Amino acid sequence: MVVRNFICEHCETVFAKDAPPSRVYKYCSPECTSQFQKTRKRKRTRITKFCETCGKQFETFPNQVKKGKGRFCSKTCSKTGKNNIFWSGGPIPVVCTFCDKEFEIIKSQFICSNTKQFFCSQGCFHDWLRIDPSNVPAFKNGGGSYWECNNCGKQFWHQGKTERRFCCHKCCTDYYSGEQNPNWSKKISQCEWCETEFEHHPSVKRRFCSHECHEAYQQEDPANNPTWKGGVTPELELARARMVYKHWQKAVFERDNWECKICGKHGGGLHAHHLYSFREFPHLRYSIPNGHTLCKSCHMKLNRHEDDYLRSVGLDPQKPPLFF
């Protein structure tokens, strides 16, 4: 290889390259190559035109001019006014049917209108409809007439020849709810608890006049409850299901500030532990000093070491007190 000097065709600077005698370098760098090619391409493939709408100068390709294009600088100019392919002669001045105000509409709206009635705003259109019901586009079948509501007595207009008895759905519902309903039938029964007479539908069997009487009837004797099975629930479950047990739990938690007595955990899944067994000492079941707040994990670990825990709090496992 021999070092040879070349002249850049773009920046006209001299640069040296290792090249064989048959190789010729035209540009000193890739940047000069790209810049020169862009300039050369622009000069050769684009021509200058003036926009037919706004008169702005722009560049386009010769092949586009041959096709009849390249007349406008942008799509906006190509669709403005008469240049638009849907141009139909521009807006047409019309007069508002209601307020006699003059305004313009496009020609297609004027041609497609069957009534040739135009309005400058929605407000004028609605006011025109309120003047006469016959102005409604759906006015047909002999027009309409005014009717009187059988429920509220209000007069209302309805199109067509069909008779209307109610002005709205609410009036219809109110009218047919109760004795005014043609299918209305009632039955008088006597409450089994308070012995008062009350009315009800014959298809519904009613023994009590209210929910209060029904609940009082069931609380008088458990056997009155349809779910009663003769007292098969164990006595311990009944004792834990009473409200006094729930109140005892809450009182124990509040006394211990909702914290586990062993690990000090606050809140979460807490248990109210009986120091002396719930089963073996019934007289201490609802005694607040007999309860300690424990978390779930500590309560599970304590099940096998209850006597040791009693001794740690200063109590004798073998001699429970009569009361705390």
* Run of H or E including 243: helix 243-255
Tokens 């899944």, residue? 269
Are residues 40 and 51 part of one domain? Answer: no
Does 293 share its domain with 307? yes
- Same domain, yes or no: 150 and 214: no
Q: Which range, 31-45, 175-189, 306-320, has the best average confidence (pLDDT)?
A: 306-320
Same domain flag for 37 and 62: no
Q: Which two tokens stand for residue 140?
A: 């047909």
Report yes or no on 302 lying in a domain. Answer: yes
Is 228 a domain residue? no
What one-character-per-residue DSSP string does 15-45 give? Answer: EEEEE-TT-----SSHHHHHHHHHHHHHHHH
Quick one: 41 and 58 in the same domain? Answer: no
Query: What distance in Å separates the CA atoms of residue 322 and residue 282, rounded to the nearest whole number?
Result: 11
Q: Residue 6 and residue 247: Cα distance in Å, rounded? A: 103
Is residue 270 a contact partner of residue 258, using CB atoms and an 8 Å limit? yes
* 136 and 119 Cβ atoms separated by less than 8 Å: no
Same domain, 243 and 284: yes
CA separation for the pair 105, 107 (Å, rounded):
7
In a domain, 243, yes or no: yes
Residue 296 and residue 244 share a domain? yes
| 34 domain residue, yes or no | yes
Nearest to 9 by CA among 45, 39, 47: 39
Tell me the residue length of the chain. 324
309 by DSSP, 3-state: which?
helix
Instruction: Please check whether residues 248 and 305 belong to one and the same domain.
Output: yes
- How many domains is the chain built from? 6
Give the structural domain span for 24. 2-45
In whole angstroms, give the CA distance from residue 263 to residue 272: 15
Residue reference for tokens 């006014």: 81
User: 272-316: per-residue pLDDT in tens?
Assistant: 999 998 888 888 889 999 999 999 999 988 877 888 888 888 888
Q: Going by DSSP bridges, is the β-strand pair 144-148/155-159 parallel, antiparallel, or unpaired?
A: antiparallel
Asked whether residue 288 is domain-assigned, the answer is yes
Residue 162 to residues 43, 141, 145, 250, 259, Cα–Cα distance (Å)? 80, 10, 9, 69, 76
What is the reported pTM?
A: 0.33
38 occurs within a structural domain: yes
In b/e form, how buried is each residue of 120-132, taking b as 16+ CB within 10 angstroms?
Answer: beeebbeebeeee
What phi, psi does 301 have (nearest 5°)?
-70, -25
Q: Tell me the per-residue pLDDT of 198-233, one tens digit each, with 9 for 90 and over.
A: 988 787 888 999 989 998 888 888 788 887 777 777
- Token representation of residue 119: 């309005």
Query: Do both 268 and 295 map to the same domain?
Result: yes
Q: What's at 84, amino acid-wise?
A: N
Q: Please state which of the ranges 117-121, 142-146, 187-191 shows the lowest mean pLDDT.
A: 142-146
Q: How confident is the model at residue 40 (pLDDT cuts 50, 70, 90)?
A: low
Q: Check if the beta carbon of residue 10 is closer than 8 Å to that of residue 35.
A: yes
Task: Say yes or no to pLDDT of 42 above 60.
Answer: no
Average pLDDT over residues 167-173: 86
244 belongs to a structural domain: yes
Q: Which of 34-48, 120-134, 140-154, 230-244 has the lowest mean pLDDT?
A: 34-48
Residue 64 maps to a domain: yes
Q: Are residues 113 and 150 in the same domain?
A: no
Q: Are residues 293 and 248 in the same domain?
A: yes
